[in-house]
């Protein structure tokens, strides 16, 4: 499974998705809880971290309300870590890890999880690959036994390579080649990144996927699938002592890879020219315009700029009361959808994106001009302090609600740690968001959203292509 949640452009895939609003009564209750000064343990109080002797980091997030546990192994290796010419090998290997090991038959791990009433899966993104099982807490020992086994004991056949290569090619057929939005997004990413591997699709370029072989998969596996390149995240009805004992039993016996390479990537040169592209496809149902800007990610110990960008996106396009929505959908009525997106959890530079779907009889050129004029007016007028406070209130509420989701909390820590952040960074993030001022938001908008680091794309119908 491919996961693109580390990239802001991924949000565009949910082009006309309905946005879930927090009920007003829920906000009031959450605010009362947040301001009550109660001494109940917070989610931060129940996070423990330690490192095994072989270098494997272990994070334990306690939640004893239900006898359930989420067991996840995150590898600091994703599509941006792939060798040149082998795009897609990280995702290919993810598929192959459900094949046989020294002790398990192909498919036996998932069958065992299901037989124990649980569910499992895996996902690949730019900066990580993760494997997880969600089961009753008394099955944690068994999950660690099987997951540690496939960390080192995968056994592949030529038939495995052939069949799974066909599977990932068909996945590309269904999710990318048959979907104009996905093809458009690929072109946008490729234009945005001049040198960085974020410019290649996570699933891979088709011509390189077709050439992936046993040697490619085993080389990536042997290089990156080692305890000193992995993070074990366990959330739910567990204690740190219990997890430590089981982790040492199953993962602690696996030797570290002494030749694990430093995580060095090709970086972007200075971007000095705005880029434009037009993607035409007869299958396009709704033309739209998207613009992305190269933007800084959340950096460990220095998340303030990213926090300002996050709030900027919320102010401009974060819902039905946002600045772009009011201006372009309600006042001017030139758009039927507007959005602004930023996701800072990324090892290297990410993007800040605008998206606008024009209304009937409004051209893409007119929609783009309206966006530019509206954004310029926002910079001149400044941030509405009342709107900013409403967004911060919603964030405080959502932080409380997030504690009820052990899956989401485990994912939050796993994504952050594989993207260069620390546990302390994750825990500091909500307060950093609350401390950002209106002036800081305008300053970061002027500094980051510059034409020379932008790509503007039009996705439109190709009327000349036969149906």
CATH number at residue 343: 3.30.830.10
Concerning whether 366 is annotated as a catalytic residue, the answer is no
Residue written as tokens 């090709």? 266
Tell me, what's the pLDDT at 287?
97
Question: Which range marks the domain in which residue 358 is found?
Answer: 275-460
Whether residue 264 lies inside any domain: the answer is no
Q: pLDDT grade, residue 5 (50/70/90)?
A: very low
CB atoms within 10 A of CB 301: 9
Confidence (pLDDT) at 19: 31
- d(CA 197, CA 265) in angstroms, rounded, equals 8
Q: What average pLDDT does the segment 402-407 reach?
A: 78
Question: In whole numbers, what is the pLDDT of the chain averaged over residues?
Answer: 90
Which bin fits 281, alpha (ψ -120 to 50), beta or left (φ > 0)?
beta
Q: Are residues 200 and 323 located together in one domain of the fold?
A: no
The mean pLDDT of 190-196, rounded to a whole number, is 97
Does residue 191 share a domain with residue 317? no
Instruction: Note whether 234 and 297 are same-domain residues.
Output: no
Alpha carbon separation from 339 to 191, 225, 288 (Å, rounded): 21, 38, 11
Pair 224, 282 in one domain: no
* Residue 34 resides in a domain: no
Q: Are residues 228 and 280 in the same domain?
A: no
Taking Cα atoms as reference points, which of 297, 269, 263, 246 lies closest to residue 128? Answer: 263
What average pLDDT does this structure show over 102-116? Answer: 97
Assess if residue 123 is contained within a domain.
yes
Closest to 320 in 3D by CA, of 392, 375, 400, 391: 391
CB count within 10 Å of CB 395 equals 16
| CA proximity to 328, closest of 319, 315, 337 | 337
Residues 94 and 237 in one domain: yes
The pLDDT value recorded for residue 399 is 86
In this structure, is residue 37 part of a structural domain?
Answer: no
Q: What pLDDT shows up at residue 24?
A: 29
Identify whether the C-beta of residue 414 lies closer than 8 Å to the C-beta of residue 128. Answer: yes
Q: Are 178 and 142 part of one and the same domain?
A: yes
**Residue-wise pLDDT tens digits, 56-91:** 999 999 999 999 999 999 999 999 999 999 999 999
For 290, the token pair is 């998207």
Give 462's pLDDT tier (boundaries 50, 70, 90). Answer: confident
Domains identified in the chain, total number: 2
Task: Report the range of poorest mean pLDDT among 119-128, 390-399, 445-454.
Answer: 390-399
CA distance 415 to 197: 18
Condensed to tens digits (0 to 9), the pLDDT of residues 354-388 reads 999 999 999 999 999 999 999 999 999 999 999 99
The tens digit of pLDDT for each residue in 18-50 reads: 233 222 223 322 333 333 333 344 555 699 999
> Which pLDDT score, from 0 to 100, does residue 35 have?
35
Distance between CA atoms of residues 145 and 322, nearest Å: 49
Q: What is the pLDDT of residue 42?
A: 53
255, part of any domain = no
| Whole-prediction pTM | 0.89
55: left (phi over 0), alpha (psi -120 to 50) or beta: left
Residue among 89, 309, 277, 73 at smallest CA distance from 197: 89
pLDDT for 400 equals: 83
Half-sphere exposure of 96 (CA within 13 A, CB side): 31
Q: Please check whether residue 365 lies inside any domain of the structure.
A: yes
Strand partners, 352: 293, 342
122 falls within a domain: yes
Q: Are 218 and 280 within one domain?
A: no
**Pair 294, 181 in one domain:** no
Domain membership flag for residue 80: yes
Task: State whether 225 and 102 are in the same domain.
Answer: yes
Q: How far is CA 452 from CA 12, 202, 449, in A?
A: 22, 26, 9
Q: Are 59 and 232 in contact (CB under 8 A)?
A: yes
Let me know whether 351 and 455 are in one domain: yes
d(CA 200, CA 82): 10
Q: Which of 4-8, 49-53, 219-223, 299-303 has the lowest mean pLDDT?
A: 4-8
232 membership: H or E segment, kind and range: strand 230-236
Q: Pick from 234, 250, 266: which residue ends a domain?
A: 250
Q: What pLDDT was estimated at residue 45?
A: 61
pLDDT at residue 3, as a whole number: 59
Instruction: Please pick, among 94, 164, 186, 399, the residue that the annotation labels catalytic.
Output: 94
Residues 233 and 345 in one domain: no
């Amino acid at each position: 499974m491919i996961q693109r949640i580390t990239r802001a452009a991924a949000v565009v895939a949910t082009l006309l998705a309905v946005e879930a609003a927090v009920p007003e009564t829920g906000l009031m209750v959450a605010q009362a809880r947040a301001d009550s000064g109660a001494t109940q343990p917070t989610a931060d109080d129940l996070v423990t971290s330690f490192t095994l002797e072989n270098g494997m980091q272990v994070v334990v997030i306690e939640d004893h309300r239900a006898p359930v546990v989420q067991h996840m192994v995150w590898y600091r290796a994703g599509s941006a870590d792939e060798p040149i010419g082998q795009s897609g090998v990280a995702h290919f290997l993810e598929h192959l890890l459900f094949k046989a090991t020294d002790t398990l038959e192909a498919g036996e791990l998932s069958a065992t999880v299901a037989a124990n009433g649980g569910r499992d899966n895996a996902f690949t993104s730019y900066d990580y690959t993760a494997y997880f099982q969600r089961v009753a807490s008394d099955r944690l020992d068994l999950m660690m036994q099987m997951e540690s086994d496939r960390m080192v004991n995968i056994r592949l056949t030529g038939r495995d390579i052939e069949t799974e290569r066909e599977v990932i090619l068909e996945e590309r057929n269904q999710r990318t080649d048959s979907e104009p939005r996905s093809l458009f997004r690929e072109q946008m990413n490729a234009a945005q990144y001049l040198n960085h591997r974020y410019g290649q699709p996570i699933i891979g370029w088709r011509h390189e996927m077709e050439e992936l072989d046993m040697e490619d998969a085993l080389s990536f596996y042997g290089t990156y699938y080692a305890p000193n390149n992995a993070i074990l995240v366990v959330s739910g009805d567990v204690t740190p002592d219990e997890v430590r004992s089981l982790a040492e039993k199953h993962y602690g016996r696996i030797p570290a890879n002494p030749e694990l390479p430093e995580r060095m990537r090709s970086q972007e040169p200075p971007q000095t020219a705005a880029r434009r592209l037009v993607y035409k496809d007869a299958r396009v149902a709704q033309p739209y315009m998207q613009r992305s800007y190269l933007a800084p990610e959340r950096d460990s110990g220095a998340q303030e700029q990213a926090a300002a960008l996050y709030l900027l996106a919320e102010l401009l396009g974060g819902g039905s009361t946002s600045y772009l929505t009011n201006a372009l959908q309600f006042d001017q009525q030139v758009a039927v959808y507007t959005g602004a997106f930023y996701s800072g959890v990324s090892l290297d530079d990410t993007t800040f994106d605008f998206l606008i779907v024009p209304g009937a009889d409004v051209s893409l050129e007119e929609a783009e001009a309206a966006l530019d004029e509206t954004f310029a007016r926002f910079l001149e007028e400044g941030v509405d302090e009342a709107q900013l406070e409403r967004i911060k209130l919603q964030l405080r509420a959502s932080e409380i609600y997030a504690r009820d989701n052990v899956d989401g909390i485990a994912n939050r820590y796993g994504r952050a740690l594989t993207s260069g952040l620390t546990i302390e960074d994750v825990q500091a993030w909500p307060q950093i968001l609350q401390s950002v001022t209106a002036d800081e938001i305008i300053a970061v908008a002027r500094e980051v959203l510059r034409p020379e680091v932008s790509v503007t794309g039009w996705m439109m119908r190709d009327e000349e292509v036969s149906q």
